[in-house]
A and B are shown apart, each in its own frame.
Chain A
């Protein structure tokens, strides 16, 4: 595994607590700031220049980048492997969707409730798992088991439409309604862009705080962290609950963007796998990895879709995802971002 310093991409030096408190960008190399600014500006003006199709692809990229950032908090920062994150997407989406459908409550309210529900659920799984000493792959299987369990439960739960699915009413209006999240793709683009940026800044900030260092200590060596007096249980719980809550907010976005929810699709294990593929390819534990991974994977996917039509080989896209995963795991287990960062000359001065 890559060392601690590998993973602190744009974060400041660990030695100066003041620097961290002095501002989010205090210790970031200037070159990185310029590139980041350019990247942000590009994202901000994108809807005005790209067509609807590209916009929808970019929404997908940002959506996966967001989910990847959320998953990364748990896996990349604190080292707890979850294979059941679809559970939190579903809980967030269903909570906000059902509150909207049944009581007309706005998604922003549903977001808070959904995040809370997911955090509690994550807390339950985490508490059970950590207290009973369920580790590593067993913990991953525990997360799958909970996700599958919930999928079947929702398949039978009439209030949320059971297996017939939950449809959010779609109405058309000329103006965007940000309060009820009804409107054009451009609005959804800026919403998910804001969410991703928020998640990015949050992660960046967390990594500079004590909690960030504790997480990394736990990830690298739990026993050692324990000996140093870190409350391992508490910090792992924070990671799981935060990651679950963030993922649930992504689920709320999903519900209002697609307007229909089926337990079969939203709780599916394939979704859990999909959302972590990007992070692994981009670089687990890095800040930019999830974003880079989402860009690479979605672009690759869109290119391969064209190839599918030409060759008549259905399934080539998913197959290439598998190959990409293998290549990364075998040749660049740290992901693409650490490599790209070196190429861009963004290494921290030592």
Chain B
């Protein structure tokens, strides 16, 4: 096997992995604070992709320019969803939360099908076809951008949780729910903010993903599952873990695709998931429960 082929594969896997990681950040943030597993994760991303598509076709906004708008829109969506629906179930059993969000997911998937129809949609931009030549390597421009945004978003989130008052308060809720209530924090509000932030991350990911893949309503389930694999690998609730999990899945897909058979590559991801669930259920970077 030629060495430059292998190098190209590794770089592609790494970049794709970072994009995956970006996608999983929101899922991880929401779980880390609320212990709610968002089964509508992929659906929220599909909504973000359609929003980007609509902004591009209707208002001529490029995805990169639309990014803050979509993120803000998704923040509002997440905030409202938490306030209106999820919050009632904050103390319900895990499977009830799971089923609730499954219901939300079904409504969104079929809602997008009814509104946008089944056709795949995309934005056609010249730079979506560009790549950089670095020695023997050919590096995809869009993935480099997305990977950079992924790292930046993770840093921003970490800074938010560490340095801002709201961020600290959210962490307090996550660490000690009752304690947070006792000292007078608006737990409900903080939860809604967290859900909004998680959704905003999904929005960012969806916007960039539209440059890589086309959107159609049935994309969602696969991305939800992929998101789960990634965050469980990295550790639910850990931001760095989400990126690490993404990179691991990206690399495992790349290597199993290159060395064994591409059609088997997601089997390896599920295999990885099973192993981690059994051997280290808190994930690679997760805290012991």
Asked if A and B bind, the verdict is yes
Instruction: Give chain A residues whose Cβ lies under 8 Å from the Cβ of B107.
Output: 319, 322-323, 326
Contact B103 A148 (CB under 8 A): no
Contact A132 B281 (CB under 8 A): yes
B68 within 8 A of A: no
Contact B95 A136 (CB under 8 A): yes
Contact A81 B98 (CB under 8 A): yes
Contact B95 A321 (CB under 8 A): no
Q: Separation in Å of the B143 CB from the closest CB of chain A?
A: 25
* A333 and B103 contact, Cβ closer than 8 Å, known pairs A132-B278, A141-B228, A149-B274: no
Instruction: Give chain B residues whose Cβ lies under 8 Å from the Cβ of A318.
Output: 106, 109-110
Contact B103 A322 (CB under 8 A): yes
A145 within 8 A of B: yes
Partner of A142, one of B95, B103, B110, B274: B274
B111-136 contacts to A (CB < 8 Å): 111, 113-114, 118
Contact B94 A137 (CB under 8 A): yes
Cα of A329 to Cα of B92 in the assembled complex, Å: 11
Nearest A residue to B261, CB-CB:
A156
Cα of A349 to Cα of B122 in the assembled complex, Å: 63
* A326 and B103 contact, Cβ closer than 8 Å, known pairs A134-B281, A137-B95: yes
Instruction: Give chain B residues whose Cβ lies under 8 Å from the Cβ of A134.
Output: 277-278, 281
Contact A322 B104 (CB under 8 A): yes
Contact B114 A314 (CB under 8 A): yes
Stretch among B193-201, B237-245, B265-273 lining the A interface: B265-273
Q: Separation in Å of the A44 CB from the closest CB of chain B?
A: 34
Instruction: Give chain A residues whose Cβ lies under 8 Å from the Cβ of B98.
Output: 81, 137, 140
Contact B104 A326 (CB under 8 A): yes
Contact A81 B95 (CB under 8 A): yes
Partner of B273, one of A128, A141, A269, A326: A141
Instruction: Give chain A residues whose Cβ lies under 8 Å from the Cβ of B106.
Output: 318-319, 321-322, 325
B232 within 8 A of A: yes
Instruction: Give chain A residues whose Cβ lies under 8 Å from the Cβ of B188.
Output: none
Interface flags for A299-331 (1: CB within 8 Å of B; 0: not) read 000000000000001111011011101100110
Cα of A148 to Cα of B102 in the assembled complex, Å: 18
Contact A153 B267 (CB under 8 A): yes
* A138 and B281 contact, Cβ closer than 8 Å, known pairs A318-B110, A322-B103: yes
Nearest A residue to B271, CB-CB:
A149
Interface flags for B203-241 (1: CB within 8 Å of A; 0: not) read 000000000000001000100010011001000000000
Nearest A residue to B266, CB-CB:
A152
Instruction: Give chain B residues whose Cβ lies under 8 Å from the Cβ of A270.
Output: 221
Q: Separation in Å of the B94 CB from the closest CB of chain A?
A: 4
Interface flags for B63-107 (1: CB within 8 Å of A; 0: not) read 000000000000000000000010011001111101110111111
B264 within 8 A of A: yes
Q: Separation in Å of the B17 CB from the closest CB of chain A?
A: 19
A109 within 8 A of B: no
Partner of B110, one of A319, A330, A333: A319
Question: Nearest 7 A-B pairs (CB), nearest first?
Answer: A322-B106, A319-B110, A325-B103, A326-B103, A315-B113, A315-B110, A152-B267
20 contacts between A and B (CB under 8 A): A1-B93, A134-B278, A137-B98, A141-B277, A142-B278, A146-B274, A148-B225, A156-B263, A280-B99, A314-B114, A315-B111, A318-B106, A318-B109, A319-B107, A319-B110, A319-B111, A322-B103, A322-B107, A323-B103, A326-B103
